[in-house]
Structures are given as C-alpha cells and as structure tokens.
Amino acid sequence: MRMRNEKAIGLFIAAAGIIILLGKFGVFGFIGRNFWPLLILLPGIALHALYYARISPSWSLVPAGILTVYGVLFSITNTWGAGLMSRLWPAFLLGIAIGLLEYSMAERRRPEYVLPAALILGAVSIILFGFTLLQTGIIYVLAVLLILGGVWLLLGRGRQGRGW
C-alpha cells in the first residue's frame, strides 16, 4: 500500500514539474493567445449537436448560431489581425440573424415574427458588409466591372440593332 502512494505522489510531482516547465516555455500563453476563439466556437457547435441529437429544444439554435458565427469571426480576426474587425463588424448582426433563422426553420409552430426579423437582420448585415467592402479595394473591382459592362453594351449590343 505504501509503495502505491509513493508512486502516485511521484507521478503528481512529475506532472507538476512538466506543467511548470511548459508554462515557462510559453506553451500555455501560445495556446491561450491562438486558440481562445474555440471557447466560443465549440459551445456553438455543441449546441447544434445537442439539438440534432434531439437532446435540447429548438430555441437552443439561437445561441448556437450566434456562438458559431462569433467563434468563426474571432478566429478570422485572431489569425489575420484584429484590424479586420473594422471591416467584419456586420457579422455580429449576421450571427443573430442566423440564430433566429435556424430557430424559425426548426420550430414546428413557426413563431410569427422570428423569420421576418431574421431576414431583416440578415439583409441589413449584408448591406452593411457591402458598405464596408466599398470602403476598401473592392471599389476598384466595381469600377472595372462597370467599365466592362459599359463597353459590352456599346460594342456588343449595339451591333445587333435590337432595342431593349
């Protein structure tokens, strides 16, 4: 019995030493800095899994959708820089819209105002995404597309002689 206790204490001491050594090497800081969005994403995925396993009710899809979208958003900004948040902030509205949309599609009784609210929030989010993209380099792509469309109308459609 005494030998067993000594082995357990020895294992505990060795594990404590390994944890301290890993902490001094910065492993836990690295994990905390790079993988913290998983603390948001994994509960969202778990709520989805619980609903589809028929363990949780359909209203749990609202926080599931929100947490999943926010976890993906924070993963993107954590990987490519927090400066992206100035362009991706409409995803906060999109997360709520997706959660409400999932709930309205899954609920049998179809709540009256949930689907229109989800669609309105989603549309506002997409419009705001468009505005934030127009402030970046996408305006040049839009200008080139407009020029090409104008040239196509002048050269391609004008030769056929057909009216609108």
The low-confidence residues of the chain, meaning pLDDT below 70, are 1, 136, 157-164
d(CA 73, CA 37): 9
d(CA 70, CA 36): 12
Q: Tell me the torsion sign for CA atoms 105, 110, 111, 116.
A: positive
| Closest by Cα among 122, 63, 68, 123 to 97 | 122
Please tell me the predicted confidence (pLDDT) of residue 22: 81
Residue spans of the domains in the chain: they are: 1-35, 36-160
Q: Tell me the torsion sign for CA atoms 63, 44, 39, 128.
A: negative
pTM (two decimals): 0.70
Instruction: List, for residues 72-83, the tens digit of each pLDDT value.
Output: 999 999 989 888
